[in-house]
A and B are shown apart, each in its own frame.
Chain A
C-alpha cells in the first residue's frame, strides 16, 4: 500500500486497491491454488486495480505515464545501485508512510489512528475498538486526517536529514502512545489491551528494521521488556500484581532477551535519549532475579538523567525511598504534593501510601491509600489499592 500511495498520490485509491487485491485473492486462491509468490501476486493485483481506478477517474495522462514508467522499470531488472530509493523502493515507501502518518501537523489522535490503519494494517473497526470510539467516529477521524494530508500539502516522503531526528522522535512518540494505550487503559475495567501492545511492538520492529537509530532501538527495547511482564502483571482473576509481587518465572524470556540485546549496543550515556534511559531502568528490574535484589541506586541514577516532569519526579522519589530508605522518599513526595502538580492523580497518594507502609507508618499509609482509591480510574488499580489497604490490618 505504501508503494501505491507514492505512485498514485492518492490514499483512497491505494487503500481501495490494496483491499481489492486481498478480496480477489480470497476469491481466486481457494479455486486456483496459492501462487508461488503470494506477495508479488498481491502487489501486481493491487497495482492493476489502482491503474483501473485512476483510468476510470480520468486522472491526467502524465500521472499514468509516470506510473507505467515506474512499473516498467521494476520489471526491467536492477536499478542504479547508487540510488537507495530506487534500489529498495519498498523500504523507502514504508518509511515515507510512517513519517507521513506521524506528521506533526496532524492532530495527535489522528497520527495514532492513521499509523495503526495505514502502517499497521488494522481495519477501521479494529482501530476504533482499540480507542473505545465508535467505528463511524474513527472513520471520520481517518477521513479528516487524509484530507488534511492532501489539503495542507503534507509531503509523502522521508524528511530531509536536518529534520530527521525531530521527526523520528515524533514517530516514536506515536508508537509509545499506542503502546501505553495498551499497557494501562485510561478508564474502564480492562487493564491491558494486549493486541495494541503487540501492534506497537510490531511497528517498533518495523521502524528499527528501516531506520536503526539508537532511540528507535531503545524504544523497542523498552516496549519489549515491559511487555515481557504482561502475563505476570495480572493474576488469574484479572487483578493487578505489582512488580514486587510478580512471579518472575512468568516473564517472557524471549522478549526480555531481545530487549536486553538491543540495549547491549554500546552508546555513550551522554548520547542517551529518554527512551534509552527508561529502557535501562526497566532492564535493571529485568535483571533482578528477585524483587529484593533490585539495584535501586542504579535506578535512582537513571531517573536523575530524565527531565523534571511531575511523573518522573514521582518515580525518582520512589526510587530514592527504595534506595535510601522510605523517609527520604516520603520527604520528596511531600514536596511534590505541595507543588500541587500531580493533584487528582492517584499515583502520588499510592506512592506515599506504599512508602509509609514500608516505614511502618500504618495510619498514614491507610489515609493515603484511601485518597488513592478515590482517584484511581481503572477497576483493577482501585481493587489493588483496596487489597493493600485491607492488608494493613
Chain B
C-alpha cells in the first residue's frame, strides 16, 4: 500500500537530538528496504502561497491557508505492506520525535492498474531546469459548491504541458494515523473523528518556470473554486551533513520569505 507521510510540527514540538537517530539513517533504512518512493523537505510556512478562486476571481495570499496551524515541513511517499509497517517507518523518522508524522493512505481507485505507483518510474529527483512546488489540494469550507469539479481535464492538460510530474488523491483524514515518539515511546493516534474544517485532500508535484506559472496552474484546478491550493517550494538539504549546524545556519531564513513577493508576480 502507498502512504503519504506528512511531517508537521504538531502540537508539542520537541528539540532535535541527533543521538537518537538522524535523517541519513532513516533514508538508508527505507532505501535498503525498498519502501521509499520520493520525499522532500519544504520551505517554511512564510514561503507558501495559497491560491483560491472565488466568484471567478483569483485570490492569492502569502503563507499556508490556515492561520497559526500546524505546518507541513516535509513529506515522503512510501510503498509498504500495511499500516503497521508504515507506522514503524514513520516512528523512526526524526520528525516523529520533533513533531508529528501524519500517515495518510492514498485513494485506491477501482480502475487503477495493479502495480501503478504514485511516483512514476523514471521520475528524476533533481530538477534540471524548472522550479518545483508541491501543490497541496485542500478542502476549505469557504469553497464554492457546484460547477464542474472534474479534475481529469486539468490533469490531462497539465500532464501534456509537462508541468505536473505526479500527484494523487488521499483518503480522508478519518483514515489517517498520527505517529509521535516521546521519551522513546511510540504514541499512535487515530485521525480526527469528525473531519476538521480544512484539510489536505491530495497533492501534486509541479515543475514550472516561476511562481507565476505555478499560480496560474493552481488557479485552473477545480479545487481552486471548491477549496484552496497551497504551493510550497521544496527545500533541498544534504541529509549526510551536520543537521544541528544546518539548523543554526538556516535559522535566519525561518521568518523571511524567499519566494517572490506577490505584488511582483501578480502585478
Chain A residues packing against B (C-beta within 8 Å) = 103-108, 110, 144, 147-148, 151-155, 159-160, 163, 166
Contact = CB atoms under 8 A, between A and B. Distances in A.
Interface residues of B, number: 23
Contacts, number: 50
A105 B188 contact: yes
A163 B84 contact: yes
Nearest to A159: B84
B177 A152 contact: yes
B83 interface: yes
In terms of DSSP, what is the predominant structure of the interface of chain A? loop
Classify the interface of chain B: helix, strand, loop or mixed. mixed
B190 A105 contact: yes
A155 B84 contact: yes
25 contacts: A103-B83, A104-B188, A104-B189, A105-B190, A106-B190, A107-B193, A110-B190, A144-B174, A147-B175, A148-B190, A151-B105, A151-B108, A151-B171, A152-B83, A152-B171, A152-B175, A152-B176, A152-B177, A154-B82, A154-B83, A155-B81, A155-B82, A155-B84, A160-B84, A166-B185
B267 to A, nearest CB: 45
Contacts of B105: 151-153
Given A151-B105, A152-B105, A153-B105, A105 B174 contact: no
B219 interface: no
Nearest to A149: B83
A154 B177 CA distance: 10
B186 interface: yes
Contacts of B108: 151
A159 B85 CA distance: 10
Contacts of A160: 84
Contact of A148 (B1, B81, B174, B185): B174
B193 A105 contact: no
B86 interface: yes
Contacts of B189: 104-105
A144 B171 CA distance: 13
Nearest to A111: B190
Interface string B205-249: 000000000000000000000000000000000000000000000
